Amino acid sequence: MITDTLPAQFAAQQFASDNYSGVCPEAWAAMAEANSGHAAAYGEDVWTAKAADAFRQLFGTPCDVFFAFNGTAANSLALASLCQSYHSVICSASAHVETDECGAPEFFSNGSKLLVAQTADGKLTPDAIRALATGRSDIHFPKPRAVTITQPTETGQVYSLDEIRAISAVCRDLGLRLHMDGARFANACASLGCSPAEMTWKSGVDVLCFGGTKNGMAVGEAILFFDRALAEDFDYRCKQAGQLASKMRFLSAPWVRMLENGAWLRNAAHANAGAQRLAAGLAGVPGVAPLFPVQANAVFLTAPAAVLEGLRVRGWRFYTFIGGGARFMFAWDTQPERVDQLVADIREVARAAAA
């Protein structure tokens, strides 16, 4: 059945996921612009060349750049390029690669095992990496070869530059490569106010997956190899994995415009502001509090079950299977009034639940 009116719960903005949002005007315009006439296929077009140049310009370094359809593939293929099948990859217990990619990192690497570190707040630490990497050195254990960190983390915290540098120092010491899952990389840049270069290659990151989808594009993630030797044959890896877009200009053109005019950073700053607005609005509500420091575009709330139920009854959608709280995510298009409405509803249901 085709209807031209949306169900009521979708007509108003929801904050269940930053992927509930649509395509930002800059990305949409770039796709329209790229949609004139014919262009060479499989990444041989001018848009893809321009996008790779725009990344090199933004990061100030001659990195190798590739485009994939989604983050699961970008992460998995990037990690596979760092490992042989008998290697292992150290990650946090809450890492997307571990909890939300259906085993794709192991699948695309032909078996490189994820070694999971339990840490207090979901961030990897130098000590946790060292413990996992040096706990076993016999031939029966998969040899540690890479570390992956998520910036910002799945629960919305940001690694400081000092934390990234401390991790990369341990990696260098132990002969490990460092991968960064930047599905929300722009949000971390906006949060720290540092340059993309400082956050990555200047702090020892070898490979970055830079998320476009959650930043406001229809589809697409970029994979940047700062150590270009690691990019050898990566194009074949993408093709074999079904990630070589034949009409690649539609994945790459949005990056050109968004990187050149700063929309990537504006979108992220706007999303982060939505999270700050919710967190600030809830100060002092009894029983309701952020579970984690709010440093990017996510707010995870702990709240009595009656409050969460009350919010659902009022039509709010959110997930509780990630991070242990009720997750609210903000996107490039977050309407401040809608955040205020959420705040007002939380305050009312909390008051009713306490009465």
Report the distance separating Cα 177 and Cα 146, nearest Å: 4
Contact window for ligand PLP (CB under 6 A) among 36-44, 53-61, 68-76, 290-298: 68-76
**C-alpha distance from residue 339 to each of 90, 265, 279 (Å):** 37, 21, 10
Contact window for ligand PLP (CB under 6 A) among 65-73, 141-149, 189-197, 299-307: 65-73
In the complex with ligand PLP, which residue's Cβ is closer, 151 or 346? 151
Question: In this structure, what token pair is assigned to residue 70?
Answer: 């989604």
Question: In this structure, what token pair is assigned to residue 151?
Answer: 């910036």
Q: 336-354 and 305-313 are packed helices; what angle lies between their axes, rounded to 10 degrees?
A: 130
The pattern of x and - marking residues 169 through 188 that bind ligand PLP according to CB under 6 A reads: ------------x-x-----
Omega before 7 cis (within 30°)? no
Residues binding ligand PLP: number (CB under 6 A): 11
The pattern of x and - marking residues 151 through 170 that bind ligand PLP according to CB under 6 A reads: ---x----------------
In the complex with ligand PLP, which residue's Cβ is closer, 203 or 213? 213
Closest CB 329 distance from ligand PLP, rounded Å: 9
Using a 10 angstrom Cβ sphere, with 0-12 exposed, 13-18 middle and 19 or more buried, the burial of residue 278 is buried
Nearest to 336 by CA among 274, 271, 268, 269: 274
Give the list of residues 6+ apart from residue 122 with CB closer than 8 angstroms, or none. 92, 93, 94, 153, 154, 155, 157, 292, 323
Question: In the complex, which residue's CB is closest to ligand PLP?
Answer: 71
3-state helix, strand, coil in the chain (%, to 5): 45, 15, 40
Q: Which of 81, 112, 148, 213 binds ligand PLP (CB under 6 A)?
A: 213
The pattern of x and - marking residues 94 through 113 that bind ligand PLP according to CB under 6 A reads: --x-----------------
Q: Which of 48, 72, 94, 297 binds ligand PLP (CB under 6 A)?
A: 72
Work out whether 71 is an interface residue with ligand PLP (CB under 6 A): yes
Contact window for ligand PLP (CB under 6 A) among 64-72, 124-132, 188-196, 341-349: 64-72
Question: In this structure, what token pair is assigned to residue 254?
Answer: 């949005």
In the complex with ligand PLP, which residue's Cβ is closer, 121 or 173? 121
Closest CB 156 distance from ligand PLP, rounded Å: 10
Report the distance separating Cα 322 and Cα 94, nearest Å: 9
Contact window for ligand PLP (CB under 6 A) among 70-78, 141-149, 282-290, 313-321: 70-78
In the complex with ligand PLP, which residue's Cβ is closer, 29 or 219? 219
DSSP E strands, the chain: 64-68, 87-92, 113-117, 143-150, 177-182, 207-211, 221-225, 289-290, 298-302, 326-329
Q: Which residues bind ligand PLP (CB under 6 A)?
A: 70-72, 75, 96, 150, 154, 181, 183, 213-214
